[in-house]
A and B are shown apart, each in its own frame.
Chain A
Amino acid sequence: MNTVPSSTYFSAPPDWGWLIVLYFFFGGLAGGCYFLAALIDLMGRPEDRPLARLGYYIAFPCVILSALLLTLDLTRPLRFWHMLIESNTFRPMFKYWSPMSLGSWALLIFGIFALISFLGALVEDNRLNWPAWRKVRPPEMLSKVIAALGGLFGFYVAGYTGVLLAVTNRPIWSDTPLLGMLFVVSAASISGALMILLAHRYKWTMPGLASLHRMDSWVIALELIVLIAVMISLGPVFRAWVNAWGLLLFFGVIVVGMLIPLALYWRRQWLGDRNLTTGAALVLVGGFILRMVIVFSAQGV
């Protein structure tokens, strides 16, 4: 231990395991799907609206699942509310400089937006008979406000986790300021992939789906650039990925989760009908492996 690449090598791993990997994945899906749904509501055609509703249908259950995963990960789960309420004084607990504190509030507020839009989607689909909730769906002005604000909180929920990892003293996590950016971009790519996958399953053909396809391929390319930037920004700490984790990152995330899906997006004839669904499924797999590698590799150092 006489020479180490960074002073971060003397910290201890917090034992964040599978529950946190799953949270990063489903939290990313929640934020990303809500953002894409809001984008479609704000920019898309009326016939694209089933696609937007699909985003809201994914986002809300994923927020609930995220909250459950986070609570279960606490070693004292029944004290989950201590994140929001100061347990001795019962005053609000809020530290803007602690990503976990800010993230807890963001998750709560985003959850409210996700619920409103989820119910709005149910009403628009005539699965719920609450005429007043029609107001939260386009073309009402209120729907634009909700989509814009909820979309912003969605991005926050998707990205703060990367900032949270950076605001520690663990190797890798705190040796780059780019993990939040990587998680934001990755959240958009996996969410687009999941929506494409489900839309194909329902055999939808609305014009917005083609836009989503094209956008997702752009986002995957951006994600690849950001991931390479992460590796460069690690400097000497990159050594921590010269092992099985690095191999998994290269083959599982870059090749399987990015390069093959990009090739499938651009060469539509390769697998015929299955081209886009295969690509989308691989993006989801890659997104999961990315979070797994980042969470576990930094704790094995």
Chain B
Amino acid sequence: MAEPMGFYTDTTVCIGCKACEVACKEWNQLPSTNGGVNTLSGDSYDNTRRLDGIHWRHVKFIEQFTEDRKDGRWLLMSDVCKHCVQAPCLEVCPTGAIVRTEFDTVVIQSDTCNGCRDCIAACPFGVIETNPVSGTAQKCTLCYDRMQVGMEPACSKACPTQSIQFGTISQLRDRAQKRVEQLHQTGEKRAYLYGADEKMLGGLNSFYLLVDKPEVYGLPPDPKMPTRNLNSGTWFSALGAVLVGLMGVINFRNRGARLDNREERP
């Protein structure tokens, strides 16, 4: 296996140009929304709205302004699949369509997916959706096809400010840690890394430098594995079955099997 690869996204240098979105759409030949007819969301400069089957990159525009708009700031963030080391989507996929690649990234094989949509409900980040053209669940592949021939993903290649950086996870983590220290030194004490260590789903292979709470960026503060409920859910169901079974036995006991056999046996 090659070394784990991924993205480090420094949101403080994102300028909201959406070059990543365009590059992603072009390389992956993703269709336009609504047949190309433009519809405005009314939500700042964000008309992409969310990540889904035909939007594998989504630049978020978060406006933080005072009432009189004299003071404030933009938070810009290019969102993408997190390629979790412990991936909830991969965990629940019943067809084996979702696989981990030699680069430690998570890829949905479109020819295997049958569109059950369990992965959509399992992803804590709301990354996956059905692509209406293929009828299968789709998301960022971290440009698996490009990586296989030694090229970097289209989005990070196109990013003009190096907000999106591609590389080995160990390299990216070092670089990101230095950037956090630099920001702290220059007075931006709010800077921190989201998903850069093993605590969050074993580590996000696409992690972020943020300057506000995760919720502000539309990210879950504490994403968890779906199987956290597997054992407890199974045991409670079994308890339900036992209780119903007991109720059945108690209510049918009076006319029990012994009577049955006595009457039936020749």
Contacts and interface: CB of A to CB of B under 8 A. Distances in A.
User: Do the two chains bind?
Assistant: yes
Interface of A: 1-4, 7-16, 35-36, 39-40, 42-46, 48, 73-77, 79-80, 82-83, 86-88, 93, 95, 97-101, 104, 138-139, 155, 159-160, 162-164, 166-170, 173-174, 177-185, 188, 207-208, 211-212, 214-215, 218-219, 222, 226
A97 B218 contact: no
B160 interface: no
Given A169-B123, A170-B121, 15 more contacts: A9-B220, A10-B219, A10-B223, A12-B120, A39-B249, A75-B135, A82-B112, A87-B112, A101-B94, A139-B264, A180-B233, A181-B237, A185-B240, A214-B251, A222-B240
Interface stretch (B10-18, B24-32, B174-182, B252-260): B252-260
B8 to A, nearest CB: 21
Contact of B114 (A76, A174, A182, A219): A76
B264 A46 contact: yes
| Residue of B50, B116, B260 with highest tally of chain A CB at under 10 A | B116
21 contacts: A9-B220, A11-B220, A13-B120, A43-B257, A75-B117, A75-B136, A82-B96, A82-B112, A83-B95, A98-B91, A159-B237, A160-B237, A163-B233, A166-B229, A168-B122, A169-B88, A169-B224, A169-B226, A174-B228, A215-B250, A219-B244
B118 A10 contact: no
Contacts of A42: 257
Interface of B: 50, 52, 88, 91-97, 111-118, 120-130, 135-136, 213, 215-216, 218-224, 226-230, 232-234, 236-237, 239-241, 243-245, 247-257, 259-261, 263-265
B91 A100 contact: no
Given A39-B252, A46-B264, A177-B229, A184 B241 contact: yes
Contact of B260 (A1, A46, A99): A46
B251 A211 contact: yes
Given A8-B124, A11-B124, A75 B130 contact: yes
B240 to A, nearest CB: 4
A2 B221 CA distance: 11
Contacts of B94: 83, 93, 95, 98, 100-101, 104
B251 A168 contact: no
Nearest to B123: A11
A180 B237 contact: yes
Contacts of A2: 213, 215-216
Given A14-B118, A75-B135, A214-B251, A180 B236 contact: yes
Contact of A12 (B114, B115, B128, B213): B128
Contacts of A214: 251
Chain A to chain B: the 6 pairs with minimum beta-carbon distance, closest first = A75-B115, A180-B237, A79-B114, A177-B232, A181-B240, A168-B121
Contacts, number: 238
Contacts of A77: 114
B243 A222 contact: yes
Contacts of B126: 10-12
A86 B95 CA distance: 7
Contact of B215 (A4, A166, A181): A4
Contacts of B124: 7-8, 10-11, 169
A182 B236 CA distance: 9
Contacts of A93: 94-96
Contacts of A98: 91-94, 118
Contacts of A173: 121
Contacts of B128: 12
Contacts of A16: 117, 121
A211 B255 contact: yes
Contacts of A14: 117-118, 120-121
A280 to B, nearest CB: 16
B138 to A, nearest CB: 11
Contacts of B93: 95, 98
B123 A43 contact: no
A10 B200 CA distance: 15
A95 B252 CA distance: 37
A155 B239 CA distance: 11
Nearest to B110: A76
A155 B92 contact: no
A169 B222 contact: no
Nearest to A188: B244
Contact of B255 (A43, A164, A188): A43
Contacts of A3: 215
A104 B243 CA distance: 25
Nearest to A229: B236
A43 B247 CA distance: 12
Contacts of A75: 114-115, 117, 130, 135-136
Nearest to B120: A14
A207 B52 CA distance: 57
A76 B222 CA distance: 33
B94 to A, nearest CB: 4
